[in-house]
Structure 1
Amino acid sequence: MVQYDPAIINQFAESLYLKAEKVVRNYTVRGCFLGLGLGLGLAAVVPEWGTLMAFLAPIGMFGYFGYSAGQSAAFKYKLEAQTALCHAKIEENTRKPV
């Protein structure tokens, strides 16, 4: 018979939070690369803007958009982790003393 172990729930919650951090980082990096691609195109099409401005503005803008989208995507992992921790706490508080 399997016994209840709250440490497993805590470990699961920690892994979900790590996954949420990775999602935010991945979305941010993808946004920056998307901005880099746009910056390369802008530098070729509009040379009077200057190479530095044509690169930095889209990278920063799309990096921020990626970060925001990553925060939204990571929210579901954080919510699932908090739900699991809440269930573990409820079980702890309602357990009958031995």
Structure 2
Amino acid sequence: MATEYNPELIQKLADKLYSQANSSIVLGTLIGFVAGGFFGLSASHESPIGVVIGVVLGSIVGYLIGQSRAFSLRVQAQMALCQRQIELNTRR
């Protein structure tokens, strides 16, 4: 039995990649927030200023990492959609 082409699967893949891209920004920021808070807490010996600085810097770094990952996922989704559209355009 041969596997047949199914353009809906490619669309589902692209939708899932976009969903993961959106989640990666939130997750990256959250992880950076928590990690920055712990780092600020340990580095500043429980000084509130150190914790705030750690949280802010950690959140920024986490956001930037999440943005980078999201960009890669969106590019993958666009490549899949492009291939799907090429197939649909050239179908006889």
Flag the structure with larger Rg.
1
Task: Provide the aligned length of Structure 1 versus Structure 2.
Answer: 91
In the alignment, the residues of structure 2 paired with residue 39 and residue 59 of structure 1 have an alpha-carbon distance, to the nearest angstrom, of 7
- Structure 2 residues without counterparts, runs of 5 or longer: none
In the alignment, the residues of structure 2 paired with residue 61 and residue 44 of structure 1 have an alpha-carbon distance, to the nearest angstrom, of 17
Could you tell me which residue of structure 2 aligns to residue 81 of structure 1? 77
Query: Which runs of structure 1 show a deviation greater than 6 angstroms over 4 or more consecutive aligned residues?
Result: none
Displacement of 1:26 in angstroms is 2.1
Matching residue's letter, 2:22: E
- Where in structure 2 are the equivalents of 1:32-51 lying within 5 Å? 32-44=33-45, 47=47, 51=48
What TM-score results when the alignment is normalised by the length of structure 1? 0.78
Displacement of 1:43 in angstroms is 4.4
Identity in percent? 32
- Where in structure 2 are the equivalents of 1:1-98 lying within 5 Å? 1-44=2-45, 47=47, 51=48, 53-96=49-92
Aligned residues: CA RMSD: 1.8
In the alignment, the residues of structure 2 paired with residue 15 and residue 72 of structure 1 have an alpha-carbon distance, to the nearest angstrom, of 17
What TM-score results when the alignment is normalised by the length of structure 2? 0.83
